[in-house]
Structure formats: structure tokens, C-alpha cells
Structure 1
Amino acid sequence: MSQKKPLAMITGSSSGLGLELAKQFAQNGYDVAISGSSDRIFEAAETLREYGIEAYPLKADASTYDGVEDFWTFVSKLDRPVDAAVLNVGVGLGGAFVDTDLDDELRLISINITGLVHMTKRVVKHMISHKNGKILIVSSISATQPTPYETVYGPSKAFGFSFAESLRQELLETGITITALLPGATDTNFHSNAGMGSSQIGSSKKNDKTLVAKQGYEALMNNEDHVVGGDAETKQIAIDNRTIPEPVKAARHAKQARLQNEKK
């Protein structure tokens, strides 16, 4: 019976928004192949199986070429067409650029940009051979503005948004659709993991991760170009960012993202 279900693959799905996205697919009858960097990915699989579907977990390091390739090989060995792919792996890094560690920044780039391109290449070539498929690329509302004190993170997400928009146009006649999800600040461990717990953003009210995941899933199913994930206020920020001058947005974000021990 499981072979009759569609298959979705979701990267970065051991917890947080990735797990919530996987739940959306499970609730809608998809089997899921999921990856994460810790043993929590196996606990996530157990949670997802409660929806009556099969979950295939793999622990993999998304910061390395081999880690990305290992997950794609794992999915390929299921010998099933991938009907939907959620490319959600991403990390943040807060702090003044002069103080942050270069190795941390290069790791961020390897995950948020290099890993995204790598996995998308594998997925697109697979879907092209089946002339069918849906891809959700998780970017961020940060893609719509400068992000001082997250000075490498924001541009990495701007790459993801532009990448999704560009690839969507290329694939218009192929049967494959691309949708970008731009979440606002969401109630996950993202900001604390990025070392931004003492920032205004880190301590502010967050969007509900289940809502954001549902919005992303529905946008993907409806073949929307992109969707801003979050409440009405978050969506208005994205609209305003289209016309607010870049220096004004940069100053606003600097105030929100600066850590308490950083000087103005």
C-alpha cells in the first residue's frame, strides 16, 4: 500500500520548521524521506509514522558534499519517484562581521548556498526524467532586506530566493514547479542556535511554526511563485520592503539584530 503513496523528501527535518513541513506532507498522505544532522531525525520519523505513512530517516551532515550526496543516494535507493522536495536546510549566524568566525561563515555558505544548489541539481534532474514534481525552497524574509549583524546569513537567503525565482522560469514547460517560502521570525530554536538569543529579534514574539509550514505547503500545492510565512504583520513587512530604501531597512535590522553586548 505504501508504494501507492506519493513520496516527499524534506531536508533539515529533525525539528523546527522542517519537521512541521514534513508533518504537512504526512497529514496529506505522503510518505517522507527526511534528513537531519543529529539522532533526533530518528525520533522525528517515529512522530511522522503516527500519521499512517512511512518515514525514511537519514542522519547526514548538510555542510559537506558527501553529506548532501549521501541523502540523495539514500532517497534514490528507495527506487520511487520523488513527487515533492522541500529544501529546508539552513543555518544562521548572528554578531558583528568583524567578530564572527570565518569558519562559521564558510560553513553557513556551504549549507545555505552550496548545499542548496547541490541538492537542487540532483532533484531537478530526477524530476525532469519523470516530467513531474514540486520543489519548495525555504528562504527567509531576510531575503528582502539588508541584514547587518547577520551579514552573511541574509545574503545567503537572498541567493536562495533569487535561485528559486530563476529556476522556476527555466522549468515552466517541464511539469516541475518551484515555490519559495520566506518565513518571518518563527517559534523554533533558529535564533538561539545562531547566537542571537539576546537580540531584539531573538526575544521578540514569533510566528507559529505550524502556520508557517501550512502556508508553505499550500503555496507549493497551488503552484504559487512564493509565499511569506507568518502573520499579517510579517506579510506587511515584506510588502513594505519593496519600497523602503535599503539604508533605512539596514538601520532597522541593525537595531533588531544587534546583540546586547555589541556597540552601536
Structure 2
Amino acid sequence: MKNRTVLLTGASEGIGYELAKLFATNGYKLVLVARNHQKLQEVQQELGYLTDVMIIEKDLSLIDAAQQLYNEIQSSNIQIDVLVNNAGTGLQDHFHHLSAQEQLRMIQLNITTLTQLTHLFVQDMLNNGYGRIMNIGSISSFIATPSMAVYGATKAYVLSFSEALNTELRNKGDYAVTAICPGPTKTNFAKNGDMKQLGELVNLVGVRPEKVAKVAFKSLEKKKTYAIPGKRYGLLLLAAKFIPRRVLQFSIAAITLNNKHSETTLK
């Protein structure tokens, strides 16, 4: 949509990169944020002929990064119409094996930064009379995930927060908040560490990031509350409702608990 600007975090690869392409081809101006400056420059060069592309290198897992990002955008006099909170990180191992610092950093990025960015930009959206927010959750938003306990909990927060905020904003005008909850996706999320079993699962049943991005983009346009890319995952979650939670947890544990500690980041 012409003259609309989207702020997209985690934009240098994976789902974020695919979303950047979709927004660009649909006429949106882009403000792309990630830690990897080189990759951001490559995306800027690729999409710059389609639309205006501003890139910002920033580690959003750091305290006050959200406020710093907001201040930088404000100083450039850019109005953000669409906020896409895509940046996130995952840790895999038994909870007690992982360091508290690593897990708190994950909470900072997956929950705190997402919440801060939303709170900052939603004020402006309300003043401007238009706003769209997309938050990237996971199928772990619906099901607790042994060996990724804190990660799953952060994604449960994303879904709950998004649904509640969407309800609050719907009565205020042209606003919508959409949570996108993909299952295993063929990105570097599973490849960037020693996640052998999870990686094998992704190779077998994983959805391609461009498909996730298409579902996400269309769902935001339709102002859906949430969407689960991939019919198989929607059916899986439907079936999970009829399985005792204890049985379900043991089934998930059988798939995930044999993996060694690893960390992956959506950039």
C-alpha cells in the first residue's frame, strides 16, 4: 500500500526477509532492523528498486534497544503504520542446564522488546488513525515444549498478548493485531546449532519461509487475530486438544529432549 511504512525486525533472513519482499512488492516503504549489517545491506540493495528501504543495525536483545530504535525512527520523522515483531531467539536443552543469563536474554528479546516496541508505536498509530501489528509466535504458543520450556512460554505470551491487544484496539478504529504461529520452518532456526533431531523434523515436515510469509501477509490484510501457516499444523493442534496434556508432553519430549544445548536466532 503506497505511503504506508512498515517496521520489520529480524529482517535479514528467514521469515523476516520473505516478509520484507512481500511488503516491498505491495508498495510499502520499509524500515528493516537486524543485527547483521551486511545482510541488511544486501536486502536493501535487492529491494531498493521497488521501494524506499531504510536499514538499522541493532541488537534488540539488549535492554533499552526498543527505546533507542523508536528514538532513531522519530528523529528521522518516519511514521510507522505497520509494526512486525519478527525478531526472536530460541534455546534448546533442559531448563536447569541452560544459564539464567541466556534465558533472560531470550525473554528480553521475545517478550520485553516486543512489548516495548508495541507500546511505543501503538501510541502513534492511535494518533494517526491507522495501525497494523504482526507478532510472530509459534505452534509452541499453544503447546508447552519440553527442552524449549522458556522459549515456548515466551511464544505463549506473544499469542495471549496479541489476542488481548487486538480486542482492545478493534473498537477504536482501523487497527488490527495478528499473531502468526508457524510450526517447524525451513530457516536457520534449526540449522544454526546442534539441533539434529529437530533439524531432521524440519527437513521432513517443515514449511518454507516464503509460504509462512504469504500466510502472514494475507492474514494481516484480512485483520485475522491469529494464523497457523501449514494445514498440517492446524490439524495437529486441533488433534492435540483431544489428547491428555500429560501424554502430549511425553510425546513432544520424545522428539526434542535428546538434543544438545543450542541457540538460534531469527535475524
Higher relative contact order (CA 8 A, sep 6+): 2
Q: Report SS of the residue matched to 1:164.
A: helix
Q: In percent, how many aligned pairs have the same letter?
A: 29
Q: Distance in 1 between matches of 2:240 and 2:194?
A: 22
Correspondence for 1:202 among 185, 199, 202 = 199
Q: Report SS of the residue matched to 1:47.
A: helix
TM-score (ref. length: structure 2): 0.90
Cα distance, 1:55–1:254 mapped onto 2, change above 3 Å = same
Q: Distance in 2 between matches of 1:196 and 1:125?
A: 41
Q: Deviations over 1:171-205 (max 9, x none)?
A: 11122110110011101111233x35222x22222
Q: Which moved more, 1:157-166 or 1:62-71?
A: 62-71
CA drift of 1:107 comes to 0.5
Aligned partner of 2:14 in structure 1 is 16
1:180-259 equivalences in 2 (<5 Å): 180-193=179-192, 195-199=193-197, 201-204=198-201, 205=203, 206-229=206-229, 231-259=230-258
CA drift of 1:122 comes to 0.8
Q: Distance in 2 between matches of 1:208 and 1:12?
A: 17
AA at the equivalent of 2:231: A
AA at the equivalent of 2:162: A
Q: Distance in 2 between matches of 1:60 and 1:261?
A: 29
Cα distance, 1:256–1:196 mapped onto 2, change above 3 Å = farther
1:95-114 equivalences in 2 (<5 Å): 95-114=93-112
Contact residue 140 and residue 157 of structure 1 kept, 8 A = yes
Q: Report SS of the residue matched to 1:65.
A: coil
Q: Which moved more, 1:252-261 or 1:99-108?
A: 252-261
Q: Distance in 1 between matches of 2:60 and 2:259?
A: 31
Q: Deviations over 1:200-220 (max 9, x none)?
A: x22222111000000000000
Q: Report SS of the residue matched to 2:196.
A: coil
Give the ranges of 4+ consecutive aligned residues of structure 1 lying more than 4 Å apart after TM superposition: none
TM-score (ref. length: structure 1): 0.91
AA at the equivalent of 2:96: V
Q: Distance in 2 between matches of 1:237 and 1:166?
A: 24
RMSD over equivalenced CA pairs, Å:
1.8
1:131-170 equivalences in 2 (<5 Å): 131-170=129-168
Contact residue 113 and residue 156 of structure 1 kept, 8 A = yes
Q: Does residue 94 of structure 1 match 2:89?
A: no
How many residues in Structure 1 have an aligned counterpart in Structure 2?
256
